[in-house]
Structure 1
Amino acid sequence: MIVPGSASQALAAALAEHTGRPLATPEYRWFPDGEECAAVPEFEGEEAVVVAATDSNDALVELLQLQDAVREAGAETVTTVLPYMGYARQDRAFEEGQPVSARAVARAVSTGTDRVVLVTPHEAGVADYFDVPVEVLEAASLLAEPLPADLTEPLFLGPDASAEGMAAAVRDAHGDGETSFFEKERDYDTGEVTVTPGDVDVAGRDVVVVDDIIATGSTMSEAVAALRERDCGDVYTVCVHGMLAGNARTKLAAAGVTRVVASDTLERAESDVSVAPLVAEAL
């Protein structure tokens, strides 16, 4: 049975449709002191697939409760699908005395599940922090689907060298184009980061900027603005995880982006691609 977290209801419904499995209807209530109780009053079968993006602390606690609830309801095996894993970017201690938050979260999630499915984690190494088997799914290639088929001399750019592989995956799925990446320069006096599309010629070309996540939109909007200054054609920003926190969407629009494309690992207005078929193959 597919059991959705409150932040992943559309994805869970799509996954139920793709797999033919029944969809549970959890109930959520809050006590006067702010504590939540996530319950699964109607549960069928011996296997539970809990689908829950942990994009907030509340969502993480809710996931732990859902894992426990399906065990109480009789599930013999539990698979936890993390479309988006919060704290995955805190994959190491950056200063002395800091936690490895991704490890702490992974250990907590592991206590209530037999298996974990991760979709494009920011750092692939976070899979090693879980105490149960983990399968990592790469969803970048799905982002090509909403793009126009007739892009003009398309250029697929990663925000840095490490993301050029994702850009290549989108390019290959689209079927045509060149790949490159932005060069970053940091001013260590001010902390500001400047991004430029290197020496590649973008004039008159449609550009697709590819990243795993757009969070605040600051770096991505700067990248779009740099492309516009070089007289490019249309600019598309595509990402697996469209966090788009705060005024990120406005920053991108102001910079001149043509369209923002994201998947439904985080359910936003820009979620034009579903990872449900990819996850269904892994179940």
Structure 2
Amino acid sequence: MIVSGSSSQAVAAALARELEEPLAAVEYDRFPDGELLAAAPDVADRDVERAIVVASTTSSDAHLEVLQLQDAVREAGADEVVTVLPYMGYGRQDKAFEAGHPISARAVARAVSTGTDRVLTVNPHEESICDFFEPSATAIDAADRLANPLPADLEDPVFLSPDAGAVELAETVRDAYGAGATDYFEKTRLSGTEVEISPSDVAVADRDVVVTDDIIATGSTMSEAVGVLGERGVGRVFVTCVHPLLARDAVTKLSRAGVEAIYGTDTIERQYSAVSVAPSIADEL
């Protein structure tokens, strides 16, 4: 049975269809004092061997929902609890930034691990965070799904990642699309909010470019990269990402930089969630 957190209802429904498993009715409530309640009464009414909790932890409330739903399905008698985090919040806080700071990804992983038998997460920013779970979480690569919504008529395309660390993701999207070159920008992080982009040597004049990353948060780095492409006479520019967080004015920044379209998956459910990661998750389950 599939049990959905409130932030992941579309991907949970898609996963239920992929696996041909029932989708549980889930209740989300808030008490007058502000405390949350997430419950799955359907599970209690059935003899459930495996309950799959599907919830992107896009907020602190979403993290708490995961813990409550895990406990609810276990309390209802589920023999096995599997937790799917399409997007794991706090996943980029994988180290202590300075003395006295927590490793937040580890703290969150430890909490989630207490209520589940298995954890899966999609394209974590650093795959090493999977080791924070007990037992280790399984990382699912759904980047190939990003090729699906791209136009079929890309002109001599270049699949470009914002830094060397993400070039494999660009290669995955290129391979799934079936044509094109790959390259990347040099990215130097100057502070927690400031990043410097240095152009690569790739020729982009009159070529369509697909800029690919695992996550777009504020859009600052991506829009700066796109701006460099514009100075080189690029053709059309499309932006793809697995996790379309798109916080604050990210969409405006990208549009002003010249991006024609933004395509993301449903790990974070946004207007730009053009493709589902449910098939990739189903393959692992």
Interval containing the TM-score (normalised by the shorter chain): over 0.9
Q: 1:74: Cα distance to partner?
A: 1.1
Question: Kindly tell me: are residues 38 and 187 of structure 1, through their superposed partners in 2, closer, same or farther at Cα, counting changes over 3 Å?
Answer: closer
2:137 to 134, 139, 143: 134
- Partner amino acid, structure 2, of 1:74: G
Shift of 1:33: 1.1
How many residue pairs get aligned? The number is 282
Task: Summarize the Cα distance change of 1:105–1:185 in structure 2 as closer, same or farther, 3 Å threshold.
Answer: closer
Q: Among the aligned pairs, what percent are the same residue?
A: 61
Single out whichever of 38-47 and 80-89 deviates more from structure 2. 38-47
Which position in structure 2 is the counterpart of 1:160? Answer: 163
Tell me which amino acid in the other structure corresponds to 1:31.
Answer: F
Q: What SS does the aligned partner of 2:42 have?
A: coil
| 1:106 shift after superposition | 0.4
Matches for 1:103-182 after TM superposition, within 5 Å: 103-182=106-185
Q: Match for residue 244 of structure 1?
A: 246
Code of the residue aligned with 2:111 in structure 1: it is A
Q: Decide which of 196, 200, 208 is 1:206's aligned counterpart.
A: 208
Letter in 1 for 2:36: E
SS in structure 2 of the partner of residue 199 of structure 1 = coil
Which residue is equivalent to 2:84?
A: 81
Q: State the TM-score, normalized to the length of structure 2.
A: 0.96
Cα deviation, residue 186, structure 1: 5.8
- 1:133: how far off? 4.3
Q: Does 1:34 align with 2:37?
A: no
Is 1:12 paired with 2:15?
A: no
1:275 and 1:250 map into 2 onto residues whose CA distance is 26
Residue 185 of structure 1 and its aligned partner are, at CA, apart by 4.7
Show the counterpart of 2:219.
Answer: 217
Q: CA deviation at 1:141?
A: 1.1
Residue 194 of structure 1 and its aligned partner are, at CA, apart by 2.8
Gaps of 5+ in 2: none
TM-score by length of 1: 0.97
The one-character-per-residue Cα deviations of 1:90-136 (angstroms, maximum 9, x if unpaired) are 00112111101000000000000000011100000001000124221
Aligned-partner Cα distance in 2 for 1:199–1:39: 54
Distance in 1 (CA, whole Å) between partners of 2:186 and 2:128 is 24
Cα contact 1:114–1:133 (8 A) shared by 2: no
C-alpha contact (below 8 Å) 1:5/1:50 kept by paired residues: yes
Please say if residues 113 and 132 of structure 1, whose CA atoms lie closer than 8 Å, have aligned partners that are also in contact. Answer: no
Q: Give the residue type in structure 2 aligned to 1:20.
A: E
Quick one: distance in 2 between partners of 1:257 and 1:239?
13
1:176–1:104 distance in 2 versus 1, CA, 3 Å: same
Partner of 2:275: 273
Check the 8 A contact 1:82/1:116 in 2, yes or no.
yes
**1:143-200 deviation digits (Å, cap 9, x = unpaired):** 0111112211101111001111111111111111111101235668xx8433243111
Contact 1:157–1:167 (CA under 8 A) maintained in structure 2: yes
Question: Within 1, Cα distance between the matches of 2:51 and 2:12?
Answer: 12
Distance 1:56 1:186 in 2: 25
Partner SS state of residue 42, structure 1 = helix
Alpha-carbon spacing, 1:134–1:192, altered in 2? closer, same or farther (3 Å): closer
**Distance verdict in 2 for CA 1:192–1:267, change over 3 Å:** closer
Aligned structure 1 segments of 4 or more residues deviating by more than 6 angstroms: none
Paired with 1:84 and 1:199, the residues of 2 have a C-alpha distance of: 33
Deviation by residue 1:212-235 (Cα, 9 ceiling, x = unmatched) = 000011111111111112110000
> Structure 1 residues 185 and 19, CA, compared in 2 at 3 Å: closer, same or farther?
closer
Distance across 2 between alignment mates of 1:174 and 1:138: 16
Does the 8 Å contact 1:146/1:273 carry over to 2?
yes
**1:237-259 residue CA offsets vs partner (Å, 9 max, x unmatched):** 10000000111111111111011
